[in-house]
Structure 1
């Protein structure tokens, strides 16, 4: 008879018990794994959807800069969350975590240490400049300027003596231009390295004058327009740097009657001899007035009138123009806003556009699109005639205002959720008790549309009743009296526009030069070519004088002959 085993002592078998124990451990381990994986999975899904939303769905009124800022922030946050999870919350062993994280940290620190600086374009995209990249070597930094024979100051309608041309409006007198660059590529006349900064060039006769940052000095430099050879240089201690905007001066020299007037980024106001670069007078307006600089540096180019030179150092509530004597540099008048600074109010709202002259209802007046809005001032006294509030969160009004053909409507445009507007300026004449007549002014909004033609850095072109400009980097045409959009096409980044010989010459932010036909019915690009290769951003306005275009960024400058080739015998 077989013995029946003791079930209580032998069941379950040891192997089965061990299996159940292992299964429970595996289940417990899986549960812990699932719980610890919730954070990275949730973060990846949530932030991934956020990135898709920002890049493909979100339509920000402030343009692509906000999209890129949101995308960068989300990507950085996701990376930090995953690194924290993997290091402290994941189910990986300490050895695995250290084996992976230590090399990654070393690589990350090494990469960060290798970055000399970060440059941002107009849409807040980053470009890294590494320490192993040799800094720009100015070919003519230590060269002796070529002393040319002093000639006659050449006044010509095809000169480019100031910012955006003679009238600060980008409308230029030009010989016929070559408009087929594929069949007849424009000839490159010369190319040279230059110092940092976002100045344009002033061109009179055979001289090209610009502003550069050379180490710890700002430099006014004069080049031969034909050869690119340095003719003279004047340097002075000044260095302005802002992390997003970058290094160097921002304004354009103004040439008038054999003199060069300069507004430096840190407040310098200078008058130099056109032929030699010798100083006639010099002062620092910010120091003299005991006022702070604006966030992105002094950016208003000087305006020369008959017996005044107008600068825009700024005021806490705007109204910060100052008129100097062109002969001596002494103050003729200063606007009331300059006296409003206190120890508790040190914010400068001078804006970033340049003062211009407008004739409104037969009255010549100074117009400045400052950080607080559009202002008109009396030329002889600086007294405010009228003011229209137009302020964005950044206090950045950079585009030049435009007086429409009727002589009393003014077009203005800005970025940072502002868009474009047209205001109507009206004059009435009042007579006081003594029988003295005095003008009274009113300014009213005609229209304002936040998503129409948001000009960030770019001033518009006004031709034959239509406005052409860059709406957050995309070309747009509108009818200014109504704000009606005609079309929107063509991506040029935050470039610059001038008009010559029936075409709009576009210097795009990526270094390409384009010719656009100003047509209100459709977008028509005529031709284009790369003129500033390998540039991370071209913010310097181009100069066009006598059919030669001068282009530069914060590293190099070049000249191209755009004149139409006339067949022999014609």
Structure 2
């Protein structure tokens, strides 16, 4: 053969060249692999697991037995645990350099300390959701200039439409008044006035042109009187006193009582005052807790005074309940004390179970009695002497019985309602016979039924309507059966007017609704106290609703055209 085949590189030669290149070239650096603890997988998994747990807990606990407060506390705990886990990973297990970690943690610590230092006050709503007041927020400018009401004791009169005491004359929340507007969007109620007020959870007692409430003013408690037509301050009576507790807040809780030209009040620390209705001048004042040498409640004195004949009855409390006390209306001198107050002498670690409900007069077995739902349960007392006639135990550890008891139409059965796992019960009170004295026995008790935490139910035409851990519920009080449950209004307050419910929701909305044993229908609503936590019961007089929280007070004309 002539010529040579074309030259081609052999595989051996290629391999030799590759090997030589590998021997002469530096080894390529491989990316550094981090341990799984130091990777971003940990924070991602942490966020997913904790977030999923929070979502599931809240999704399957829309109406928990102990209320949304427990669910929210669990939520905050899980959120806090998630943050601590992420910070721990970042500080000790992440791949960030020590310098980066220290700088980031220092910034986080400085920001946290700065934020905490800027918080002036923390307060919680009824479901334990916190809100914060910051130091740069200006306190409201309170009215200081005051005059006095025009009138005198000889012309003093309380009309049937007036609200001279907590929840009205009978403390039942049932209001006499004109028809109300039914569409507040198409025909908005007129705002008559709005004014700043001091902290506190007192309601408003109204007689004639006077609105009387209680509020905190710096380091003083104050009983204040405003003109119902203008909202102008008429007089003020203040004295040294300040009560604050993070969950309960700042200021007095009870509502003044107006009677026979005088005003009677109970402060958060036990100061009982008798004042001139027209001028606010002090007639007498004494601190019953100090006089008796007994401790305050966890969330302060909250029972409103009750007039019984020539006495004013207050509820300073006792270690096992049964702590009522009657004072002479004219002088403030002690007329009688319940036997329970003597228990403090034998108590090693005394605590007060006064509860947060107010005494009320009821006629049971043809006898007018003082009835009190205190921290230990429901009791009936001789209205003249304070003698304990009967007692029904309805107790839980916190002693937070708040709702007013309801006497049914039959005149011998009383409904009581509480939260904190206690629920509602119907109590049968039997008059004495030749063989036995007064008796109080359970008809039924349902721990999960109508759990009134701060609010007071309404009794109307054989049905009880109230807020069950913030959700409106109707029950048959004779059988203890739930009729329906709908509408979330928080831990607000309800009044009955013309067969309708007027609901002051905890978030500041005012709601009007139709009720029946079959259902609830919301008719109309409007926001009256924006950005608020409303625990102060509203007052409705002559078709005008008076509302307040711990910052401001306002009046709206709800009368139909």
TM-score by length of 1: 0.91
Is 1:526 paired with 2:518? no
Is 1:77 paired with 2:81? yes
* Match runs of 1:316-395 below 5 Å: 316-342=319-345, 344-395=348-399
Per-residue deviation at 1:545? Answer: 1.4
Per-residue deviation at 1:505? Answer: 1.0
Per-residue deviation at 1:365? Answer: 1.1
**For residues 335 and 150 of structure 1, what CA distance do their matches in structure 2 show?**
35
**For residues 531 and 376 of structure 2, what CA distance do their matches in structure 1 show?**
37
Work out whether residues 200 and 540 of structure 1, in 8 Å CA contact, stay in contact via their aligned partners in 2: yes
1:89 counterpart (83, 93, 96): 93
Work out whether residues 148 and 231 of structure 1, in 8 Å CA contact, stay in contact via their aligned partners in 2: no
**What is the aligned partner in structure 1 of residue 240 from structure 2?**
237
1:134 counterpart (130, 138, 147): 138
Is 1:447 paired with 2:457? no
For residues 36-70 of structure 1, the C-alpha deviation after alignment (integer angstroms, 9 at most, x for no partner) is 77865664454333312321123531111111111
**What is the aligned partner in structure 2 of residue 248 from structure 1?**
251
**What is the aligned partner in structure 2 of residue 542 from structure 1?**
538
Is 1:200 paired with 2:203? yes
Per-residue deviation at 1:232? Answer: 0.8
Per-residue deviation at 1:150? Answer: 4.0
- Check 1:454–1:14 CA distance in 2 against 1; reply closer, same or farther (3 A cut): farther
**For residues 316 and 14 of structure 1, what CA distance do their matches in structure 2 show?**
92
For residues 469-508 of structure 1, the C-alpha deviation after alignment (integer angstroms, 9 at most, x for no partner) is 0011111111111122111111111111111122111111
**What is the aligned partner in structure 2 of residue 148 from structure 1?**
150
Q: Unaligned 5+ residue runs, structure 1?
A: 1-6, 432-438, 566-570
- Check 1:127–1:12 CA distance in 2 against 1; reply closer, same or farther (3 A cut): same
Question: Matched residue of 2:175: which SS?
Answer: coil
**For residues 15 and 328 of structure 1, what CA distance do their matches in structure 2 show?**
111
**For residues 152 and 166 of structure 2, what CA distance do their matches in structure 1 show?**
25
**For residues 472 and 464 of structure 1, what CA distance do their matches in structure 2 show?**
23
What is the RMSD computed on CA atoms of the aligned residues? 2.3
**What is the aligned partner in structure 2 of residue 116 from structure 1?**
120
Work out whether residues 146 and 229 of structure 1, in 8 Å CA contact, stay in contact via their aligned partners in 2: no
1:503 counterpart (484, 500, 511): 500
**For residues 400 and 26 of structure 2, what CA distance do their matches in structure 1 show?**
76
Question: Matched residue of 1:428: which SS?
Answer: coil
**For residues 42 and 445 of structure 1, what CA distance do their matches in structure 2 show?**
52
**What is the aligned partner in structure 2 of residue 558 from structure 1?**
554
Q: Unaligned 5+ residue runs, structure 2?
A: 1-15
**What is the aligned partner in structure 1 of residue 5 from structure 2?**
none
Per-residue deviation at 1:11? Answer: 11
Is 1:429 paired with 2:425? no
Work out whether residues 149 and 278 of structure 2, in 8 Å CA contact, stay in contact via their aligned partners in 1: no
**For residues 289 and 360 of structure 1, what CA distance do their matches in structure 2 show?**
31
Per-residue deviation at 1:175? Answer: 2.4
**What is the aligned partner in structure 1 of residue 292 from structure 2?**
289
Work out whether residues 308 and 383 of structure 2, in 8 Å CA contact, stay in contact via their aligned partners in 1: no
> For the pair shown, which has the larger CA radius of gyration, 1 or 2?
2
**For residues 261 and 180 of structure 2, what CA distance do their matches in structure 1 show?**
29
> May I ask how many residue pairs the two structures share in their alignment?
543
**For residues 25 and 474 of structure 2, what CA distance do their matches in structure 1 show?**
81
User: Please, which moves more after superposition, 199-208 or 38-47?
Assistant: 38-47
- Check 1:465–1:40 CA distance in 2 against 1; reply closer, same or farther (3 A cut): same
For residues 157-199 of structure 1, the C-alpha deviation after alignment (integer angstroms, 9 at most, x for no partner) is 0000000000111012212322332333221111111110000
**What is the aligned partner in structure 2 of residue 568 from structure 1?**
none
1:177 counterpart (180, 197, 200): 180
